[in-house]
A = this chain, B = another copy of it.
Amino acid sequence: MNGDAFDPDCPTRLILDRIGDKWSVLVVLSLRGGPRRFTELRDAIGGVTPKVLTQTLRAMARDGLLTRHVFAEVPPRVEYELTPLGQSLHAPIQAVADWAESHVNEVMAARQAAG
């Protein structure tokens, strides 16, 4: 066993649960190019509701993956940006995304065959 991610009380497991969340993955991918505003993220990530996006962003900020910068303007402006820690997560996540994209045909074929 090269890790203790299998122990449910292990911190590594907690992290895995968190970054394994689909919305977190899409947020990281969506912020790889630089800071973005709330509405930009909501529009970029199809299908996410504001409530869940807020929850995801707040949780990621708590975990030090991104920063939330509020500008005192009207209408309000809030920018989210990956921290260096969050940026370091981009490569592994991109690897998974690449896998998904290059093997989607095989998976869909298997799913069809299995009905």
Contacts and interface: CB of A to CB of B under 8 A. Distances in A.
Interface of A: 3, 5-9, 11-22, 25-26, 29-30, 44-47, 61-65, 85, 88-89, 91-93, 95-101, 103-104, 106-111, 113-114
Contacts of A19: 96, 99-100
Given A12-B101, A92-B99, 17 more contacts: A5-B97, A5-B100, A6-B30, A7-B46, A8-B46, A8-B47, A11-B108, A12-B100, A14-B104, A15-B100, A16-B26, A20-B21, A64-B107, A64-B114, A85-B110, A91-B95, A92-B92
Tell me how many chains of this kind the complex includes: 2
Contacts of A18: 107
